[in-house]
Amino acid sequence: MKNLNDILRLIKTKTREFEKSPTLRFKDFIKPNWRPLSDKLNFIGVYLIYENKNKLIYVGHAGKGKHFLKYRIADLFHDDPFKHTLTKKLLTKIKHFKNIGELRKFYLERCYFQVVKVDNVRNARILEDVLISLLKPRYNEE
């Protein structure tokens, strides 16, 4: 088990990195067939999704196996079967959108995201859990 000082250092370092990381548009990372661009986001990491650049709606992580951030971001756009918790939640549980087309449009036109690279999946999970606990993103809580 990691010691507390290591965990606190990880959180402090990665929080600073999030503060400095650029705000990204989904359209710059997704192909027209809803697959990820192969040359971007090829790493383990944590991501924050915002509606209108200022309203945090979701925190997630990627990196289990070879499922890097590029694949996890692309998972948002798939509905057969649902590959992302947020997409499934917005279409079936909360029913905020009528169909995947409306949801894709929402992601592409109104949502932004930030990412931070981490060394391993364990650190990604720790950071994700802490950020969810502290920031209480709307759709992680519902």
pLDDT along the chain (142 residues), means of 10: 84 95 96 93 97 95 91 93 91 92 97 97 95 96 76
pLDDT at 1: 42
> According to the model, what pLDDT value does residue 2 have?
64
Residue showing tokens 């917005």: 90
Torsion over CA: 117, 39, 113, 44 (sign): negative
Q: What is the pLDDT of residue 53?
A: 87
**Has domain 4-141 been given CATH number 3.40.1440.10?**
yes
Residues 87/76, Cβ–Cβ less than 8 Å: yes
Predicted pLDDT of residue 112 = 97
What pTM was computed for the model? 0.93
Residue boundaries of the structural domains of the chain: 4-141
